[in-house]
Amino acid sequence: MAGEDRALANGAKFIDFQTEPTRYRHWTIDVAGDVATLTMDVDENGGLFEGYQLKLNSYDLGVDIELADAVQRLRFEHPEVKVVVMRSGKNRVFCAGANIRMLAGSTHAHKVNFCKFTNETRNGLEDSSENSGQKFICVVNGTAAGGGYELALATDHIIMADDGSAAVALPEVPLLAVLPGTGGLTRVVDKRKVRRDHADYFCTIEEGIKGKRAVQWRLVDEIAPNSKLEAKLAERVRAMAATSMRNGEGKGIALTPLHRKIDGNGLHYDFVDVEIDRAQRIATITIKAPEAAPPVDVAGLMAQGDAFWSLQVARELDDAILHLRINELDTAMLVFKSLGEGASVLAYDDFLEKNKAHWLVNEIRHYWKRVLKRIDVTSRTLVTLVEPGSCFVGTLAELVFAADRSYMLVGQRDGDNRAPPAIVLNAMNFGPYPMSHGLTRLQSRFQADASDVDAAQAKIGEALDAEIAEELGLVTFALDDIDWNEEVRVFMEERTSFSPDSLTGMEANLRFVGPETMESKIFARLTAWQNWIFQRPNAVGEEGALRRYGTGVKAQFDMTRV
């Protein structure tokens, strides 16, 4: 269960990102033909931690874990769904946003990881709309404030009740001395194209905006009196369903619980293994190639369901990354390794490429894209080691290109009869898995000269040894057996000795070179500023706005502009 009552070795509470609908406490899913309804009815007493109640549909990480799971299930388990209606189960309130007591009592690391995950969840709604054809409509039946309005902003269409009280608001600046942390500022101006001066006014008032002005300023799409709200919703649902690109037929596949064992040494799945060296602050993630061949056709894929290797390993890796982010905060470095036959991985990639028009294959490919994006924005040093026995080919080669540093062994190790490692490129490395700024990892790597991408693409299908991979720019360093252990050891010891704050800032800046998109702005610009503001006394100090919210005592600010 999300947030099950379990302690970690360091005494902190274990937070689990695995859940399923029968265990939800805050959301319900109802599917009727090509329409699904996601109803938010937050259990006030269902918070992850003690010390706060989730009143007025306010939320914490546990609420968002359920939402992320629900959106994922709609994509994989319900190919028939074309429109998703998001609404509140409570009267006269849609969602009051992130719970203020939770934020005030949380550690800095938890606040930042909470904002990052909620960003990824809202991006997931938009990704589903764009790439799965499941369009989202939000019904605002009362107050949609802060993160509540940000949730609405992630949908395609917002219908608000015109009853004199329903309103949308981003009151974080005047009330809490922080920013709308899940993309609100960016979506208002970049997605909804709200004028800058209107946005400035909107983001500095507590009470929000309602009625015709909300429509005129593009903050919502339409309003309707309560007597006509359901009819207006039905009309909009029909129109969106008629234009949806969703082409799923028949039944979907069930996303069953992952086989996972957690012990003092790490996490262990069927195809992903995580070994945590807490003394060195390093987590080593090893991904195993499939042992069986892929199915011969999509009927075989449907029969395998979530046991299909490409999907299962993506789910396992996703869960592992989320676990390490929030439950292993002292970990400084993620080291990626792989094990098995590269030809087996390529066979699964070939299957995905050949059948990419099928709805389930489309979902698997886009899921891999989202998992890799999650790795991109994880605040740990990312290192990939390409050694004998590795299978960093095709999709798994993206972990080489995502890394801050990559090392590849030249030839064989003394006493190891396994063949020298090789990287093999395929179509997956040249389009299906863009980063959040719209470039592939190879395009981002070779921004100085696009011909370097062409040179790499010309090598598709070839087994590239360490020296060729280094020459093509695919790895950072190619090292022989004599230098390998010492070079890697020195790098890891040095890297883990640096300040984690400076590393987080440096890595995030270096990973996202090139253009900006709305998504990259949310993670790079907005998250960076929110991270800083969350440490400022004006927000979190004893006299700061977060601490004094609801006490009746006005916050005291240091008025120095910095």
Taking only the tens place, the pLDDT of each residue in 513-529 is 889 999 998 887 777 78
CB atoms within 10 A of CB 83: 25
Q: How far is CA 131 from CA 44, 159, 317, 435, in A?
A: 34, 23, 22, 15
Q: C-alpha 317: how far from its chain's center? A: 12
**Contact status, residue 412 vs residue 388, Cβ threshold 8 Å:** yes
**Contact status, residue 361 vs residue 441, Cβ threshold 8 Å:** no
> Which pLDDT does position 4 carry in this prediction?
41
How many helices and strands (H and E) does the chain possess?
23, 17
Quick check: helix, strand or coil at residue 275? strand
> Which pLDDT does position 445 carry in this prediction?
96
Residue 175 and residue 323 in one domain: no
If you search the block for the tokens 């993620």, which residue do you land on?
A: 334
Q: Which of 468, 483, 504 is the last residue of a domain?
A: 504
If you search the block for the tokens 């890595």, which residue do you land on?
A: 507
Q: Which CATH number do you get for residue 394?
A: 3.90.226.10
With residues binned 3-state (H G I as helix, E B as strand, rest as coil), the percentages for the chain, rounded to 5, are 45, 15, 40
Residue 37 and residue 88 in one domain: yes
**Contact status, residue 508 vs residue 524, Cβ threshold 8 Å:** yes
| 425 domain-assigned | yes
Tokens of 386: 């390409």
**Contact status, residue 388 vs residue 421, Cβ threshold 8 Å:** yes
- For 234, the domain range is 21-243
Q: Which of 243, 275, 302 is the last residue of a domain?
A: 243
Residue type, 249: E
Label residue 125 exposed, middle or buried (CB < 10 Å: 0-12, 13-18, 19+). buried
> Which pLDDT does position 531 carry in this prediction?
81
Residue 235 and residue 277 in one domain: no
**Contact status, residue 127 vs residue 370, Cβ threshold 8 Å:** yes
CA distance 98 to 62: 11
**Contact status, residue 436 vs residue 122, Cβ threshold 8 Å:** no
Residue 271 and residue 229 in one domain: no
Torsion of CA 234, 238, 243, 248, to 10 degrees: 100
CA distance 475 to 386: 9
| 528 domain-assigned | no
The CA radius of gyration of the chain, in Å to the nearest whole number, is: 24
The secondary structure of 463-477 as a DSSP string is -B-HHHHHHHTSSSE
Residue 272 and residue 158 in one domain: no
> Which pLDDT does position 5 carry in this prediction?
46
CA distance 74 to 81: 7
- Say which residues have a Cβ less than 8 Å from residue 447's Cβ, sequence separation at least 6: 439, 513, 514
CB atoms within 10 A of CB 302: 16
| 519 domain-assigned | no
> Which pLDDT does position 11 carry in this prediction?
57
The secondary structure of 338-406 as a DSSP string is EES-HHHHHHHHHHHHHTTTSHHHHHHHHHHHHHHHHHHT-SSEEEEEE-TT---BGGGGHHHHHSSEE
Question: Could you say which DSSP state residue 550 is in?
Answer: T
Residue 334 and residue 203 in one domain: no
| 223 domain-assigned | yes
> Which pLDDT does position 250 carry in this prediction?
84
**Contact status, residue 52 vs residue 99, Cβ threshold 8 Å:** yes
Residue 279 and residue 226 in one domain: no
Residue 238 and residue 265 in one domain: no
> Which pLDDT does position 244 carry in this prediction?
95
Residue 164 and residue 125 in one domain: yes
**pTM higher than 0.75, yes or no?**
yes
Residue 135 and residue 171 in one domain: yes
Residue 147 and residue 237 in one domain: yes
Please choose, from the candidates 253, 349, 276, 205, the residue with its C-alpha nearest in 3D space to the C-alpha of residue 9: 276
Residues 188, 192, 196, CA angle at the centre, nearest 5°?
55
| 1 domain-assigned | no
CA distance 362 to 380: 29
CB atoms within 10 A of CB 359: 18
Please list the rounded mean pLDDT of every run of 10 residues in the chain (562 residues): 48 89 98 97 96 97 98 98 98 96 93 94 97 98 97 98 97 93 92 98 97 98 97 98 91 97 96 97 98 97 98 98 97 98 98 97 98 96 98 98 98 92 98 97 96 98 98 98 96 96 90 91 79 90 92 94 86
Please choose, from the candidates 115, 118, 122, 125, the residue with its C-alpha nearest in 3D space to the C-alpha of residue 179: 115
Quick check: helix, strand or coil at residue 407? strand
Question: Could you say which DSSP state residue 14 is in?
Answer: P
Instruction: Calculate helix-pair angle for 359-376, 108-131, nearest 10 degrees.
Output: 150
| 452 domain-assigned | yes
- Counted domains in the chain: 2
> Which pLDDT does position 2 carry in this prediction?
40
If you search the block for the tokens 């262990």, which residue do you land on?
A: 268
| 415 domain-assigned | yes
Residue 473 and residue 350 in one domain: yes
CA distance 368 to 433: 7
Q: Which of 455, 478, 504 is the last residue of a domain?
A: 504
| 9 domain-assigned | no
